[in-house]
Amino acid sequence: MKDNTPLAWAVRNISELFIGRRGPAAGREMGEAPVVRDAVVLIRDGIIEASGAADVVAIPDEYDVVDAEGGCVVPGLVDCHTHTVFAGSREAEFVQRCEGRSYAQIAESGGGIKMTVKSVRNASVEDLVESALPRLRRMLEAGTTTAEIKSGYGLTPDDEIKMLHAVHRLAKRQPMELIGTYLAAHTVPGEFAGRPNEYLDLVLDPAVLKRITDNGLAEFADVFCERTAFDVDASRRFLTVCREHGLIPRLHADQITQCGASRLAAELGAASADHLECIDDDGIAAMRSAGTVAVLLPACSFFLGVEQAPARRLIDAGLAVALATDLNPGSSLIESMPLVMSIACTQMHMTPTEALIASTANSAAAIRRSDRLGALLPGMQADLLILDVPNHLQWAYHVGRNCVRTVIKRGNIVHPG
Binding site for a second copy (CB under 8 A): 89-92, 94-95, 98-100, 138, 299, 302-305, 333-336, 339, 345-347, 349-352, 391, 393-394, 396-401
Q: Which residue number, 135 or 186, has a Cβ lying nearer to a second copy?
A: 135
Q: Which residue number, 61 or 91, has a Cβ lying nearer to a second copy?
A: 91
CA distance 88 to 131: 9
**Minimum distance from residue 285 beta carbon to a second copy (Å):** 24
Burial 55-84 (b: 16+ CB within 10 A, else e): eebebeeebeebebeebbbbbbbbbbbbbb
Q: Give the pairing type, strands 35-44 and 8-18.
A: antiparallel
Q: Which residue number, 234 or 334, has a Cβ lying nearer to a second copy?
A: 334
**Minimum distance from residue 91 beta carbon to a second copy (Å):** 4
DSSP states of 128-178: HHHHHHHHHHHHHHTTEEEEEEE--S--SHHHHHHHHHHHHHHHHHSSSEE
Instruction: State how far the alpha carbon of 385 is from the alpha carbons of 20, 68, 352, 376, 414, in Å.
Output: 13, 10, 16, 11, 10
Q: Which residue number, 25 or 217, has a Cβ lying nearer to a second copy?
A: 25
Q: Which residue number, 197 or 394, has a Cβ lying nearer to a second copy?
A: 394
Q: Which residue number, 133 or 241, has a Cβ lying nearer to a second copy?
A: 133
**Minimum distance from residue 331 beta carbon to a second copy (Å):** 11
Radius of gyration of the chain (CA): 21
**Minimum distance from residue 228 beta carbon to a second copy (Å):** 23
Phi/psi region, residue 398 (left: phi>0; alpha: psi -120 to 50; beta: rest), is beta
**Minimum distance from residue 12 beta carbon to a second copy (Å):** 23
**Minimum distance from residue 255 beta carbon to a second copy (Å):** 17
